[in-house]
């Protein structure tokens, strides 16, 4: 049974009717540009073929009733206009409550609705299952209220829900590419202006995501600490964000920063430059240069931003050795575990299995590969599929 069939049947089983519509939003992988988004910088993600689906129908009252098929059919109920509060036991409920509350905060006149949620974005892997859920929920409840918003606004709603209610000071990248991705393309995002530029992915390159098996979580002190350190560096340079600090200005005064803040700032400033170069390399199919930029990005995340793990470093090094300049590989996501991403020629895909077998022998961890395609952002799905 497909996920679409499953969520439709789940909705019918719970609410004795077909849904009005099904909202769909993808996860994402970031090809390059890590921890630059909340510094008003540049990122180069792609929406991927893992999704959250939300089946929805309008109600005659102001109650929101939501069922999560993937959590043993746990459910939640709350009123559209009630104050936000955390669910005592269900973390997933907090994202739904936060999105609805954020929409109300912004003046949208919502209706009560029934929702059934299911998804296949791997959780805790850095592929933005939370952003996918936020965007899909926002689109679903807006649709039954007959409200249409541009994808940038959907993204901002998801980000605000996470920042203001769930407790993670995430940037805009995850929600923006989930809402506005373009099939067959990566998306160069200017995180200040929210301008997006589709970058065609060379068809001969595969996106290979490998879940390292090292669990991670973004609502942690380490992620928010990195954000605080970047803000401290920007303040030192009398700027609102590190986006404004040039390499020349940085290196002229870097010795006046503490060692840790200097490292964080250097990573962000150089990563912004790498991301713009990587977008150009991808657009011109300059795979050798892209390989170099992805390698530099990983080293910077390891040594300057200090967000990789020994297992991640081992996996990246093994793939990098086999790919050479025919593809690129780096850690992706917020850090401290999760996934790596590789861009590699289709004829090189056979290198993955032996590398993962050796990785399991050395670490005891089972790494799971996913060969992904760049997908469209948020959309509405007909019940006919």
pLDDT of residue 167: 81
Dist. CA 213–CA 339, nearest whole Å: 8
Lowest pLDDT segment from 36-45, 156-165, 221-230 = 221-230
The tens digit of pLDDT for each residue in 278-312 reads 999 999 999 999 999 999 999 999 999 999 999 99
**Does pLDDT of 384 surpass 60?**
no
Stretch(es) of the chain classified as CATH 3.30.230.10: 3-199+375-381
Closest CA to 122 of 136, 109, 107, 132: 132
**Does pLDDT of 125 surpass 90?**
no
The tens digit of pLDDT for each residue in 151-165 reads 999 999 999 999 999
Stretch(es) of the chain classified as CATH 3.30.70.890: 202-372
DSSP track, 38-99: GGT-EEEEEEEEEEEEEEEEE-SSSEEEEEEGGGTTEEEEEETTSPP---SS-HHHHHHHHH
Strands (E), 212-347: 328-332, 339-345
Q: What percent of the chain has pLDDT over 90?
A: 90
Catalytic residue among 70, 76, 81, 174: 174
168 vs 120, more confident: 120
Residues 179, 9, 161, 74, CA torsion sign: negative
The pLDDT-based confidence of 219 (bands split at 50, 70, 90) is very low
DSSP state of 159: H
The tens digit of pLDDT for each residue in 347-376 reads 999 999 999 999 999 999 999 999 999 999
Q: Which residues of 47-61 are buried (b: 16+ CB within 10 A; e: fewer)?
A: bbbbbbbbbbbbeee
Which CATH code for domain 3-199+375-381? 3.30.230.10
- Vertex 158 angle, CA 377 and 332, to 5°: 65
**Does pLDDT of 186 surpass 80?**
yes
Q: Whole-model pTM? A: 0.92
174 is catalytic: yes
Residues 6 or more apart whose Cβ sits within 8 Å of residue 264 = 226, 229, 230, 233, 304, 305
The pLDDT-based confidence of 126 (bands split at 50, 70, 90) is low
Dist. CA 337–CA 213, nearest whole Å: 8
How would CATH label the architecture of 202-372? 2-Layer Sandwich (3.30)
Lowest pLDDT segment from 67-71, 242-246, 379-383 = 379-383
pLDDT of residue 238: 97
**Does pLDDT of 141 surpass 70?**
yes
């Amino acid at each position: 049974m497909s996920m679409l069939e499953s969520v439709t049947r789940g909705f019918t089983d719970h609410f004795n009717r077909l849904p009005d519509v099904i909202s769909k939003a993808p996860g994402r992988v970031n090809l390059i540009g890590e921890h630059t988004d909340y510094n008003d910088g540049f990122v180069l993600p792609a929406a991927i073929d893992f999704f959250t689906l939300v089946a929805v129908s309008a109600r005659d009252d102001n109650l929101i009733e939501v069922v999560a098929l993937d959590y043993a059919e746990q459910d939640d109920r709350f009123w559209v206009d009630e104050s936000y509060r955390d669910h005592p036991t269900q973390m997933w409920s907090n994202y739904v409550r936060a999105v609805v509350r954020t929409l109300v905060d912004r003046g949208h006149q919502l209706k009560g609705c029934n929702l059934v949620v299911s998804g296949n974005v791997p959780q805790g892997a850095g592929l933005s299952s939370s952003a996918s859920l936020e965007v899909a929920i926002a689109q679903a409840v807006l649709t039954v209220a007959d409200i249409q918003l541009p994808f940038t606004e959907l993204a901002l709603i998801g980000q605000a829900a996470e920042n203001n209610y769930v407790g993670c000071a995430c940037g805009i990248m995850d929600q923006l590419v989930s809402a506005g991705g373009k099939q067959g393309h990566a998306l160069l995002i200017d995180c200040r202006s929210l301008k997006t530029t589709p970058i065609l992915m060379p068809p001969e390159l595969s996106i290979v995501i490998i879940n390292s098996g090292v669990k991670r979580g973004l609502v942690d002190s380490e992620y928010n600490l990195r954000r605080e350190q970047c803000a401290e560096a920007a303040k030192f340079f009398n700027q609102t964000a590190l986006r404004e600090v040039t390499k020349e200005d940085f290196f002229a005064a870097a010795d006046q920063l503490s060692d840790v803040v200097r490292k964080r700032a250097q990573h962000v400033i150089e990563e912004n430059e790498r991301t713009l170069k990587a977008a150009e390399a991808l657009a011109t199919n300059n795979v050798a240069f892209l390989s170099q930029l992805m390698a530099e990005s990983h080293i910077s995340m390891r040594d300057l931003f200090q967000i990789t793990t020994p297992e991640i470093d081992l996996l990246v090094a093994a793939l990098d050795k086999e790919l050479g300049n025919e593809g690129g590989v780096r850690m992706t996501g917020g850090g401290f575990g999760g996934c790596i991403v590789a861009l590699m020629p289709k004829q090189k895909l056979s290198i993955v299995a032996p590398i993962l077998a050796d990785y399991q022998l050395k670490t005891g961890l089972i790494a799971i590969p996913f060969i992904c395609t760049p997908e469209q952002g948020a959309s509405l799905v007909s019940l006919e599929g």
